[in-house]
Structures are given as structure tokens and as C-alpha cells.
Structure 1
Amino acid sequence: MVVDEVEMRVHHQLDKLYKSTREKRDFQKEIVKAAEAFTAIGYKHIEAGTKLSEDCCKYGVENPNDEVLAKAASIYGDARKHAEKEVEDLNKLFFSQVLEPLRAMVAGSPLEDARHLAQRYSKMRQEAEIQAAEVSRRQARVREAPIPEN
């Protein structure tokens, strides 16, 4: 009966592992969703900033007789365009260096392997219990059946 106690302990440990890996995977998925939202907002911000910089440059070109304001708008538009380019580069870097590895981690094998191991163990245990019950039934039938003498 010691084997059964050890087996039950291992089964409980695998069950805990299964639950904790599922919780960690769900947490990682939430982090990925947040990172995706962050990059989406970043791209919307870049889009709005780029439009503003284009409009400022356009105002500067179309209104040369309003010297001070046109020149200021043009300078601001150019500066804004360069700043948006830097933000876009940062957003691309965040996407490639943070978001993609996070996605790979969520779909990664260590967590899934642990979950599949726990599922396989549980299935094997159920099959072993079914086979043990079948063996017990057959042994009982053999004991009850009369032994023919030659």
C-alpha cells in the first residue's frame, strides 16, 4: 500500500502543477493582451501625431505672408515629424523585443508540456484503475468457478 500513497502524492503534485501552469498561462495571456493594447495605442498616437505634423508643415508652406506663425508651424511640424519617427521606432522595438517573445512564451512548450504530462498521467491512472477492476472481476470469477478434474 506504500506504492499507492506515493502514487497519490505524485498525482496531487501533478494536479497542483497542472493548475499552477494553467493560472500562469492565463496570466501571461493577460500580459500579452495589455502589451498588444499598448502597441495599438502607440500606433494610433503616431498616426495622430504624424497627421498633426503634416498639417503644420502644410500651413507653413501655404501661408508664407504670415511669417512668424507660418515659420513656427513649419518648424513645429518638422520637429513633430522627427519625434513621431522616434516613437514609431520605439514602438517597433517594443513589438519585436517584448511582445513577440511574450507571445512565444504563452504558446511555449514548457507550460504546455507540463499540462499535457498531467493530463496523460491522469488518463493513464484512470486506465490502470479500470484494468485493475477488470482483473479483480476475473479473479473473482475464477475463484467462484468449479475446477474441473481430469
Structure 2
Amino acid sequence: MLHLQAILRQLGQLGHGGVMIDEGDLELHEQLQCLYKSTRAAKHFQRDIVRGLEGFISTGKKQMEIARKLAEDCCKYGIENQDSDSSLARVASGFGTSHAAIEDHNEKMLGVLGYQ
């Protein structure tokens, strides 16, 4: 409101003395300023959400690569040592297989988030 009053004073000094603003106009101006501020804040908030989501996706992809490598190595160990009748080989193979399935689901989730 002070901003608008300062503009009106300047207009009056420039010879535009006929400018008249009533209380309704001032109220509408204040509402427009509030709308502008809230819209701008929402835009910044949306930008922050997008940046956070991009970081989450990037971190998730790196984590997924590491987990996939672990799953592959476990499956490989289980296959290479299946003849030794080792409990560790069976467990490693099962762990690798289940982890690979989990990472498939994680990949789908990250894809959906990235699409949004």
C-alpha cells in the first residue's frame, strides 16, 4: 500500500493531479500483491521439489548400480560353487536373485518418479 501511495504522490508531482484511487482500488492492489507473492513462493517451492527429486533419482541410480553388482557377484558365486554342496553358495545365489528382483522394482519406481 505504501508503494502504491508513493507512486500516486509522484504522479501528482508530475502534473497528473486528477489521479484518484479509492479504497476498493487499494484493496484490490494489495490482493494482487499477495497473489503475486504467493504464486512466486509456490513456483520456488515447486522448483525446490524438482531439484530434490532429481537428486533422489540420481542417488537412487548410483545405489542401484552398486546393488546390482552385488547381486550379480552373489549369483556368480552361487553358480560357481553349487557343486561344492556349500550352504554359503545356496544362500549367496538366493540373495543375489532376490536382490536383482528388488532392483528391478526400484528401477521401475525411479522411472516413474523421473517421468513425473
Give your verdict on TM over 0.5: yes
> Which of 65, 82, 85 is the equivalent residue of 2:101?
82
- Spell out, residue by residue over 1:74-131, the C-alpha distance to the aligned partner (whole angstroms, 9 max, x if none): 11111111111111112212222xxx3xxxxxxxxxxxxxxxxxxxxxxxxxxxxxxx
Q: CA deviation at 1:67?
A: 2.3
Residues 4-43 of structure 1 mapped to structure 2, 5 A cutoff: 4-5=21-22, 6-43=24-61
Corresponding residue SS for 2:45: helix
Matched, 1:91 2:107: no
Unaligned 5+ residue runs, structure 2? 1-17
Post-superposition shift, 1:34?
A: 1.6
SS for the counterpart of 1:4 is: coil
Aligned match of 1:51: 69
| Structure 1 CA distance for aligned equivalents of residues 87 and 38 of structure 2 | 64
Whole-angstrom CA distance in 2 between matches of 1:13 and 1:82: 54
Shift of 1:28: 1.2
Note the aligned Cα RMSD (angstroms). 2.2
Q: Which runs of 5+ in 1 are unaligned?
A: 101-150
Shift of 1:66: 5.7
The number of residue pairs the alignment matches comes to: 97
Pick 1 or 2: higher relative contact order, CA cutoff 8 A, min separation 6. Answer: 1
Identity of aligned residues (%): 39
Secondary structure of the 1:26 match is helix
Q: Does 46-55 or 87-96 show the bigger shift?
A: 87-96
Structure with max Cα Rg: 1
Amino acid corresponding to residue 21 of structure 2 in structure 1: D
| Separation of aligned partners in 2, 1:82 and 1:27 | 35
CA distance in 1, matches of 2:78, 2:85: 9
